Structure 1
Amino acid sequence: MASKHRWKAIWLVLLGAASYGVLSTFVKLGYKQGFSAAEITGSQVLFGFIILWLLSLPKLWQMKGISGGIVLKLIAGGTFTGLTGYFYYQSLQVLDASFAVLLLFQFTWMGMLLDWITERRVPTLFQWIAMALTLLGTVLASGILSGTMDSPGASGIGLGLLAACCYTLFIYFSGKIATHLPALFRSAWMITGAAAIVLILMPPQFLWNGSLGQGLWQWGLLLSVFGMVLPPFLYAKGAPLIETGLAAVLGSVELPVVIVCSALLLHEATHAVQWIGIVLILLGVLVSERKTAVKAKRKNEYTEQIPRK
């Protein structure tokens, strides 16, 4: 039964990461229509905030027992998902997209390192192998080896790594803060923190400059569902049941989704080396679960050998 719940949690986290993966394609389509990064990001978090709280209204009475301290922790934890988008979009202004994605995906080893520091959980051999496969696959799938790239600046590298750090902390807090509460309530409070920090850093001028009426509302709604509603909810349901390091490795599935969506919707050219990278990333996900599967099998064999009274 525990193994069944674990695999359900793994699929939830995978779906959450896949939801993040479609965002870059939608953002690029929004940029093509002339909307700015501030307008795209601000409308995304604002619509996400509205949607999650509307969904929470029917059960709002259940929040009466939630302490102010827990609420503040959830809001604080939610700021990291807002900061991830903020730093990542800023890095895209000074870095090639392929290199910015590569920096963002450093969360795969950051999550394992954080798990090691906070939980004293030493990474297993399979986890080290999975991390190596994931990092190698990320380099290949990002397309950085298939073309020329401008020399990256220190500020862009710093912004990209900050985005990776914030994403790692978002995954960590998704699995640690108030895990006894319904995922919908946790997501609503966390999106409150994300919306607050983004709208402070990027004042919502789109509310009065006419951009919403020009079609921004469509992109804001679409991005909020796939970026601010589904992922926090799915992570809130799945992340508490698995390790932070594993959740970070599973999150790398986002990159293959980015490549596939870009090829299908933006008609961007892909290279064989990128598909090799995608295969390595998926292989890394499978390897990361190898030890758990072996342990579960041994446990079942041991249980079957115990004579029944």
Structure 2
Amino acid sequence: MKTNRWKAIWLILLGAASYGVLSTFVKLGYRNGFTPAEITGSQVLFGAVTLWLLSLFQLRSMKGITWSDIIKLLVSGAFTGLTGYFYYLSLQVLDASIAVLLLFQFTWMGVLLGWAADRRAPTGYQWGAMALVMAGTVLASGILAGSMERVSVQGVVLGLLAACCYTTFIWVSGRVAIHLQPLTRSTWMVTGAAAAVLSLMPPVFLWNGAMAEGLWFWAILLSVFGMILPPYLYAKGAPSIETGLASVLGSVELPVVIVCSALLLQEPTGAMQWVGIIIILAGVGMSERRPASRASEYSV
């Protein structure tokens, strides 16, 4: 059980890191002249198509799935698409540093949701980890070095909606139709994400010439890191750990965002942000610490 737990932890960390890499690729796509609707829509559409093509090689894994499972997975996947949708809208009216800070409220939201759903209070280590992650997020976001001029009620609500959707996605990843193969689960979830996003952002990129101008490259790249790897990794790892721990582990996304932005986009990164990254990583490490009474449960 201990080996499986650590494997699950690494899967969640890799899934969060994939989301972190994604934001840099999105910015590069914008620099190449593509709109947010084109980037987001093509990402979810290519992701869904790719997963369905991969699922054709494992049709036997679809056996045993019920209509109830399908509906639950589609609804659950919609939260993945809605996370990106609300986050994009918040960026239109907020500075990026503030929008990121609001999105990362999923760390404490996940702990509280796990507490309410599992009836298991967070440990002292988890409370400490949550405090470290939030403190590190404030520093790493760069908000202390910026201004608070672009703050609006609409932007704050949208940012918190993105955080709520991401929290829900993490929670359902560990609970919905866990008897199915991870590929089957992620395929249906990404299908739900595509349906949600494309209903809000019609796929005009299919006929406006954007694909011929190179959008296909970004669609493939973004679908791999945004719609294929993360849902699959979360679907495989989340059932083996608590929701609160998964939420804290998901905070590794922000350090990856900052490192990739500094290396690939040459965005300036101050000393305070690097301190924030170190604090976040310390919080992630603390989140796995357990009281002696609980640690013994995983030593057999």
Using the size of structure 1 for normalisation, the TM-score is: 0.94
Letter of the aligned partner of 1:233 in structure 2? Y
What RMSD in Å do the two structures reach over aligned CA positions?
1.4
1:187 to partner: Cα distance: 0.3
Does residue 285 (structure 1) correspond to residue 284 (structure 2)? The answer is yes
The equivalent residue for 2:252 is 253
Q: How far apart, CA to CA, are the structure 1 residues paired with 2:125 and 2:107?
A: 14
Q: How far apart, CA to CA, are the structure 2 residues paired with 1:175 and 1:17?
A: 15
- Secondary structure of the 2:145 match is coil
Taking a change above 3 Å as real, the CA distance of residues 66 and 130 of structure 1, as seen in their structure-2 partners, is: same
Taking a change above 3 Å as real, the CA distance of residues 52 and 267 of structure 1, as seen in their structure-2 partners, is: same
1:298 to partner: Cα distance: 8.6
Moved more, 27-36 or 42-51: 27-36
1:294 to partner: Cα distance: 7.2
Q: How far apart, CA to CA, are the structure 2 residues paired with 1:106 and 1:90?
A: 17
Superposed, 1:167-246 pairs within 5 Å as 167-246=166-245
Taking a change above 3 Å as real, the CA distance of residues 294 and 261 of structure 1, as seen in their structure-2 partners, is: farther
Letter of the aligned partner of 2:210 in structure 1? S
Q: How far apart, CA to CA, are the structure 1 residues paired with 2:188 and 2:92?
A: 30
Contact 1:3 1:296 in 2 (8 A): no
- The count of residues paired between Structure 1 and Structure 2 equals 300
Moved more, 142-151 or 195-204: 142-151
Could you tell me which runs of 5 or more consecutive residues in structure 2 were left unpaired when the two chains were aligned.
none
Could you tell me which runs of 5 or more consecutive residues in structure 1 were left unpaired when the two chains were aligned.
304-309
Does residue 161 (structure 1) correspond to residue 123 (structure 2)? The answer is no
Larger radius of gyration: 1
Moved more, 111-120 or 228-237: 111-120
Taking a change above 3 Å as real, the CA distance of residues 148 and 299 of structure 1, as seen in their structure-2 partners, is: closer
Letter of the aligned partner of 1:268 in structure 2? E
Q: How far apart, CA to CA, are the structure 1 residues paired with 2:61 and 2:210?
A: 37
The equivalent residue for 1:54 is 53
Superposed, 1:19-58 pairs within 5 Å as 19-58=18-57
1:180 to partner: Cα distance: 1.2
The equivalent residue for 2:11 is 12
1:203 to partner: Cα distance: 0.4
1:24 to partner: Cα distance: 1.1
Q: How far apart, CA to CA, are the structure 2 residues paired with 1:84 and 1:76?
A: 13
1:297 to partner: Cα distance: 5.5
Contact 2:61 2:180 in 1 (8 A): no
The equivalent residue for 1:276 is 275
Taking a change above 3 Å as real, the CA distance of residues 32 and 121 of structure 1, as seen in their structure-2 partners, is: same
The equivalent residue for 1:151 is 150
Taking a change above 3 Å as real, the CA distance of residues 299 and 4 of structure 1, as seen in their structure-2 partners, is: closer
Letter of the aligned partner of 2:107 in structure 1? T
